[in-house]
Chains A and B, each alone.
Chain A
């Protein structure tokens, strides 16, 4: 099995599309939670080809995008502390905070380094014993276990200069919040594939059971998405609501027990701030008491100043699925990938960036 090209086979995709055409009778609105799914949907033009009965809305599943400005300001303030090296995943660099971005801070002398894994960040700490290395813990359940592993390794190695700013977010609690606010009526949810690879399918069951909304866990290729849409339509048309796994090659119902164990050993649930959604109970992760000496928030006196949101930016509404980038006054005018105003235009998985790059309003 080749895993990529085999999941992009044109004739199979066409077959799934006609199957969806045949099945779909009831008008429905499905949300794809994950930014990775949004990108696939736009990259292949899936929205243009689905029957008129199916409306797709994008959800808040982009970890860069949902990071609140106040948290971003903390990261930027830390980057300005003499002797601190910030280690982060690349996308974070360009996201504008209230006054500056990590990229701008770097340009004026802040030591901000892009890493590709937490283990690289540990290496930076080992190589620079006279500096404090702060890893920006941005991400969902997918990245949290690797960050937990880095903390355990730092402890084992006796590293005294490695810290994590834990801005992690958990997916099921925020979906529950979205459903409770019921700003957007949903008839189906495409659940994130990589998050589910860690947490499994069970944590989604409350959505099908308590809210009567069909759920399908999807992979990221075009066939995965079409297969998932087809399974959702099938549930809707047959009056069912359950959690199904379309991404069998990546997800087991029980998830990845080892990763979960690591995550739970180091972190415990905590409230978290989401852009556009405010504080959501139990949707974040903080370091357990035993590992508090790695907590950047406790180790440094972070003075990030007052937080402000960019005027006119509707990233928050877009992340809740209430509005689309097309509704934004700034989109494509003052907010472009070159000069992003909000994070959804910066991140490669942001809705605004996907709309911009893949020309959704093309209508051809």
Chain B
């Protein structure tokens, strides 16, 4: 019979130690974890960025990724969006009783690989097992810290009129890849989640232009929501052009079928940068050299009029407001 996670695996007793040592510490091997102390002790100097996020994606495996990869990328990307170099992560599992050991191993292996690519180490962690039905298979929380280099000042409130808005690539792939696997909705698509760690992309952008004003990863709520957040935080307007937004035909088709607007569909490996106009070409060039920015493009610019508003020039040349997402995306019925 396949090995299952039991309540005892979270009890703090022998099974718990076995799980931590065999499944986690060994797989994620590094000197901090190997100590098995209550905290990781780290020497630091400089400005620290610190963030946390919880991951409850369903299904936990989807085309292009899984909950483990997402848990690393999400937190790494949040650090990167502050201009930080991501360094260390914590990793906490909440596991539903009866979850398969082999699936857990698969998730941990994915965490190991993604952390390796992102150049971060998992330095502390925790495991809890809850009664069947109290969680859905596996929930993960990660927190992360990173260091912000001298002279870098990136914030959602820094956008200035005249700045250019850059998008790192095509939108909507993560959301559609996950939705395509949902029970009751499975449809076949070649799409994969764009889930990726963006630390190296951001580092190369900062090398090209330390004066980047804003960075944001358009995750839940999609590009539209990120742009609205930036416009409101910076008290500026943002004007984008529909024709310039990269979009794969498969995403477009799935969105049409489901009644989604791709502007609101989640991404996990894309970023929006707002940069001074004079630096835009330099940043763009640096981005296009990185595998996660090769389709980067300028999609619009920042204005001073009507602060907080995002407007899109449609392919016809008319204008329309792009508002934040309200509630959940719902599929259409006719």
Residue of B249, B256, B259, B316 touching A46 (CB-CB under 8 A): B316
B253 within 8 A of A: yes
B326 within 8 A of A: yes
Given contacts A5-B249, A5-B252, A364-B311, contact A348 B332 (CB under 8 A): yes
> CB-CB contacts of A9-29 with B at 8 A, as 1s and 0s?
110011001000000000000
Q: Which parts of B229-273 form the interface with A (CB within 8 Å)? A: 243, 249, 252-253, 256, 259, 261
Contact assessment for B331 and A222 in the assembled complex, using a CB-CB cutoff below 8 Å: no
Residue of B319, B320, B334 touching A194 (CB-CB under 8 A): B334
Contact assessment for B333 and A44 in the assembled complex, using a CB-CB cutoff below 8 Å: no
> CB-CB contacts of A69-85 with B at 8 A, as 1s and 0s?
00000000000000000
Nearest CB in chain B: distance from A133 CB, A:
14
Task: Determine the distance from Cα of A91 to Cα of B330 in the docked complex, in whole angstroms.
Answer: 6
Contact assessment for B318 and A44 in the assembled complex, using a CB-CB cutoff below 8 Å: yes
A138 within 8 A of B: yes
Contact assessment for A4 and B253 in the assembled complex, using a CB-CB cutoff below 8 Å: yes
Task: Determine the distance from Cα of A13 to Cα of B326 in the docked complex, in whole angstroms.
Answer: 30
Q: Which residues of A contact B321 (CB under 8 A)?
A: 357-359, 362
A94 within 8 A of B: yes
Residue of B184, B256, B320 touching A359 (CB-CB under 8 A): B320
Closest to A89 in B: B333
Contact assessment for B184 and A91 in the assembled complex, using a CB-CB cutoff below 8 Å: no
Residue of B256, B323, B326, B332 touching A349 (CB-CB under 8 A): B332
Contact assessment for B334 and A142 in the assembled complex, using a CB-CB cutoff below 8 Å: yes
Nearest CB in chain B: distance from A280 CB, A:
19
B315 within 8 A of A: yes
Interface size on A, residues (CB 8 A): 50
Q: Which residues of A contact B314 (CB under 8 A)?
A: 43-45
Task: Determine the distance from Cα of A94 to Cα of B252 in the docked complex, in whole angstroms.
Answer: 26
Contact assessment for A90 and B316 in the assembled complex, using a CB-CB cutoff below 8 Å: no
Nearest CB in chain A: distance from B148 CB, A:
35
Contact assessment for B323 and A357 in the assembled complex, using a CB-CB cutoff below 8 Å: yes
B41 within 8 A of A: no
Q: Which parts of B289-334 form the interface with A (CB within 8 Å)? A: 311, 314-321, 323, 326-328, 330-334
Contact assessment for B316 and A13 in the assembled complex, using a CB-CB cutoff below 8 Å: yes
Q: Which residues of B contact A43 (CB under 8 A)?
A: 261, 314, 320
Nearest CB in chain B: distance from A206 CB, A:
23
Q: Which residues of A contact B327 (CB under 8 A)?
A: 94, 337-338
B185 within 8 A of A: yes
A139 within 8 A of B: yes
Most buried by B among A10, A46, A120: A10
Task: Determine the distance from Cα of A9 to Cα of B242 in the docked complex, in whole angstroms.
Answer: 12
Nearest CB in chain B: distance from A101 CB, A:
12
Contact assessment for A356 and B315 in the assembled complex, using a CB-CB cutoff below 8 Å: no
Closest to B182 in A: A116
Contact assessment for B315 and A13 in the assembled complex, using a CB-CB cutoff below 8 Å: yes
Interface size on B, residues (CB 8 A): 27
A8 within 8 A of B: yes
Contact assessment for B323 and A42 in the assembled complex, using a CB-CB cutoff below 8 Å: no
Task: Determine the distance from Cα of A349 to Cα of B321 in the docked complex, in whole angstroms.
Answer: 17
A328 within 8 A of B: no
Contact assessment for B185 and A116 in the assembled complex, using a CB-CB cutoff below 8 Å: yes
Nearest CB in chain A: distance from B214 CB, A:
23
A228 within 8 A of B: no
Closest to A42 in B: B320
Contact assessment for B333 and A8 in the assembled complex, using a CB-CB cutoff below 8 Å: no
A115 within 8 A of B: yes
Q: Which residues of A contact B333 (CB under 8 A)?
A: 63-64, 89-91, 138-139, 143
Q: Which residues of B contact A357 (CB under 8 A)?
A: 321, 323
A49 within 8 A of B: yes
Nearest CB in chain B: distance from A39 CB, A:
9
Given contacts A139-B334, A337-B327, A349-B332, contact A10 B319 (CB under 8 A): no
Closest to A336 in B: B326
Residue of B261, B311, B316, B323 touching A17 (CB-CB under 8 A): B316
Contact assessment for B316 and A45 in the assembled complex, using a CB-CB cutoff below 8 Å: yes
Task: Determine the distance from Cα of A213 to Cα of B323 in the docked complex, in whole angstroms.
Answer: 37
Contact assessment for B334 and A143 in the assembled complex, using a CB-CB cutoff below 8 Å: yes
Task: Determine the distance from Cα of A91 to Cα of B329 in the docked complex, in whole angstroms.
Answer: 10
A267 within 8 A of B: no
Q: Which parts of A44-76 form the interface with B (CB within 8 Å)? A: 44-46, 48-49, 63-64
Q: Which residues of A contact B317 (CB under 8 A)?
A: 14, 45, 49
Given contacts A337-B326, A356-B323, contact A140 B316 (CB under 8 A): no
Closest 10 CB pairs of A and B: A45-B318, A359-B321, A90-B330, A89-B333, A337-B326, A10-B315, A364-B319, A358-B320, A44-B314, A48-B318
Q: 20 A-B contacts, Cβ less than 8 Å apart?
A: A4-B249, A4-B252, A5-B252, A36-B334, A43-B261, A45-B316, A45-B317, A90-B330, A91-B332, A93-B330, A114-B330, A115-B184, A143-B333, A337-B327, A338-B326, A349-B332, A357-B321, A362-B319, A362-B320, A364-B319
Given A139-B334, A348-B259, output 19 extra A-B contacts at Cβ < 8 Å: A10-B315, A43-B314, A44-B315, A44-B320, A45-B318, A48-B319, A49-B317, A49-B318, A91-B333, A93-B330, A140-B334, A143-B333, A143-B334, A338-B326, A348-B332, A349-B334, A357-B321, A359-B311, A359-B320
